[in-house]
Amino acid sequence: MFKIGFDNEQYLKMQSEHIRERISKFGGKLYLEFGGKLFDDYHASRVLPGFMPDSKIKMLAELRDDVEVVLVINANDIEKNKVRGDLGITYDMDVLRLIDAFRGYGLYVGSVVMTRYEGQESAIAYEKKLKALGVRVYRHYTIAGYPGNIPLIISEEGFGKNDYIETKRPLVVVTAPGPGSGKMAVALSQLYHENKRGVKAGYAKFETFPIWNLPLSHPVNLAYEAATADLNDVNMIDPYHLEAYGVSTVNYNRDVEVFPVLNAIFKKIYGESPYKSPTDMGVNMAGKCIIDDEACREASRQEIVRRYYKEMCEQRKGGGSASASAKLELLMDKAETGIGDRPVVAAANLKAEVTGEPAAAIELPDGQVITGKTTTLLGASSAMLLNALKVLAGIDDSVKVIAPDVIEPIQHLKVSHLGNHNPRLHINEILIALTICASTNPAAEKCMEQLGNLKNCEAHSSVMLAAVDEHTFQKLGVNLTCEPKYQTKKLFHG
């Protein structure tokens, strides 16, 4: 059963208070580098059950009168039309989406900064577009030898060449559509310029993971390594914090590696560094809001297995990497888990073996595992979904909640007019059909009422699903894994 392991209300309160404290520490001006996903942190909500995906943006909304957002985009990413894999849109378009989203929460977006600007044609055109939309745009330039060449960085030919970003709020949130955008360099450049103007300003970093006050081998931290397995980065004990305070804390290897450089930059700007370790720079309070450690451990173990299946499917599609899958296998061992700890895997694969066709299984909140098989009308996942809704609604399996005369016209439309070769209905199509029937069929209506109870359920398919089915499961909040197999031996899979 789904167990709450994280106190979200406590988190919102503690996190906002801690950020206010950090602002006051630096005399009323803080540049906060914000990593990870602000609006839809589903990874955090999976490994910290009870954490709401929009918690971080809600926390910022509580500070809205003090917050100014600066969005950062690498000019090379504009030139290359870099795409966000989770959303399928380019980084430059995602900046516009983020501006709208921030404004929707009543947050003030002050400007957009283009980093590594070298006169790229696409960057010039994008700057013109933003200005036409009423958005202020600044340029930051490539600095030779960054971040190692500190004398050049802290000079008029380094940070001094960058545009000074005019800000007016105490808390400046520096964020970006993805990694490699240059958020840290933008924040440090601003410290240089503020110091020249006689303004005392500070820097801090907000990263939810790894959680600094959990053990290195805690499944929550191992799950973060699993999420970044393709980057080949690792969590590690912060040696600077251990030396300074005699306390073991966990940090990311890249933050540990860059800390001596950051420390030197701070000293060059201020005359002294405000921090003794990378952990000191962080403001994350998530670890202090865990209320059921075992629930978070179990949720994180499941996440590591899901990440393993995702990587294996990527490799089957021709992507991924053998090193990433090997690392995920190692992480499963460290977390003392594996595919055997995921009951839906055995259930789906057994059903597929017995029927000789693709099958799927889902574990309901009470622990029941419900399966679905492939039929002439429905794919296995669609059948599984209907079966699960009937069980949740207390409807006998023999009852048809969707009449065949509703399904058949949809199949005819798909095959005869829309060019589909597979007549079976996808999950989204089944849900539309169920909605139609619910207006006249009480059983269908009861099934519709149970959709919310699928959230946080675990599911598995014996074959890789079409993207439309994966996305529908995601919207329903179902945690899906698939065997790294195609349903057919064709070379093209839509």
Whether the pLDDT of residue 242 is over 70: the answer is: yes
- Residue 165, in any domain of the structure: yes
Give per-residue pLDDT as tens, 345-388.
999 999 999 999 999 999 999 999 999 999 888 899 999 999 99
Q: Residue 494's pLDDT is what?
A: 56
**DSSP tag of 435:** H
CB within 8 A of 197, min separation 6: which ones?
164
CA nearest to 178, candidates 64, 89, 293: 89
Alpha-carbon distance values, 58 to 4, 24, 61, 102, 176 (Å): 20, 21, 5, 10, 18
What percent of the chain has a predicted confidence (pLDDT) above 90? Answer: 81
Helix (H) / strand (E) containing 172: strand 171-175
Q: What is the pairing mode between strands 250-252 and 235-237?
A: antiparallel
Give per-residue pLDDT as tens, 202-212.
999 999 999 99
Average pLDDT of span 319-342: 95
Give per-residue pLDDT as tens, 458-493.
999 999 999 889 999 999 999 999 999 998 766 555
- Alpha-carbon torsion angle 411, 416, 419, 423, nearest 10: 20
CA nearest to 107, candidates 46, 159, 175, 40: 175
- Residue 314, in any domain of the structure: no
CB within 8 A of 287, min separation 6: which ones?
211, 212, 213, 214
Give per-residue pLDDT as tens, 24-83.
999 899 999 998 788 888 999 999 999 999 999 999 999 999 999 999 999 999 999 988
Do residues 413 and 371 make contact, with C-beta atoms less than 8 angstroms apart?
A: no
Determine whether 376 is exposed, middle or buried from the number of CB atoms within 10 Å of its CB (0-12, 13-18, 19+). Answer: exposed
Give per-residue pLDDT as tens, 191-204.
999 999 999 899 99
CA nearest to 60, candidates 52, 69, 51: 69
CATH number of the domain enclosing 352: 3.40.140.40
Do residues 1 and 367 make contact, with C-beta atoms less than 8 angstroms apart?
A: yes
- Residue 427, in any domain of the structure: yes
Handedness of CA 331, 333, 335, 337 (dihedral sign): positive
CA nearest to 232, candidates 328, 363, 341: 328
- Residue 33, in any domain of the structure: yes
Helix (H) / strand (E) containing 75: helix 75-79
Per the model's pLDDT, the better-predicted residue between 185 and 487 turns out to be: 185
E strand residue ranges, 300-457: 359-363, 369-373
Q: Residue 1's pLDDT is what?
A: 62
> Is 199 in the same domain as 346?
no
Whether the pLDDT of residue 320 is over 80: the answer is: yes
Which residue in this structure is represented by tokens 């003030």? 108
Which residue in this structure is represented by tokens 């918690």? 55
What percent of the chain has a predicted confidence (pLDDT) above 70? Answer: 98
CATH number of the domain enclosing 173: 3.10.630.10
CA 236 and chain centroid, separation = 21
Q: Residue 421's pLDDT is what?
A: 77
- Residue 136, in any domain of the structure: yes
The highest-confidence range among 134-143, 312-321, 431-440, 462-471, by mean pLDDT, is 134-143
Range(s) of the domain holding residue 196: 8-208
Q: How far apart are CA 419 and CA 262, in angstroms?
A: 58
Average pLDDT of span 82-93: 83
Average pLDDT of span 332-340: 97
How many CB atoms neighbour CB 317 within 10 A? 12
Kindly indicate the confidence band of residue 179, based on its pLDDT and cuts at 50, 70 and 90.
confident
192, 208, 224 - which closes a domain: 208
- Residue 299, in any domain of the structure: no
Whether the pLDDT of residue 411 is over 90: the answer is: no
Q: How far apart are CA 317 and CA 381, in angstroms?
A: 20
Average pLDDT of span 96-100: 95
Three-state SS sequence of 122-143:
HHHHHHHHHHHCCCCEEEEECC
Number of domains in the chain: 2
E strand residue ranges, 35-142: 67-74, 83-84, 89-90, 108-117, 137-141
Q: Residue 419's pLDDT is what?
A: 81
Kindly indicate the confidence band of residue 180, based on its pLDDT and cuts at 50, 70 and 90.
confident
Q: Residue 491's pLDDT is what?
A: 54
Say what the pTM is.
0.91
184, 208, 232 - which closes a domain: 208
CA nearest to 221, candidates 212, 230, 232, 233: 212
208, 240, 273 - which closes a domain: 208
- Residue 38, in any domain of the structure: yes
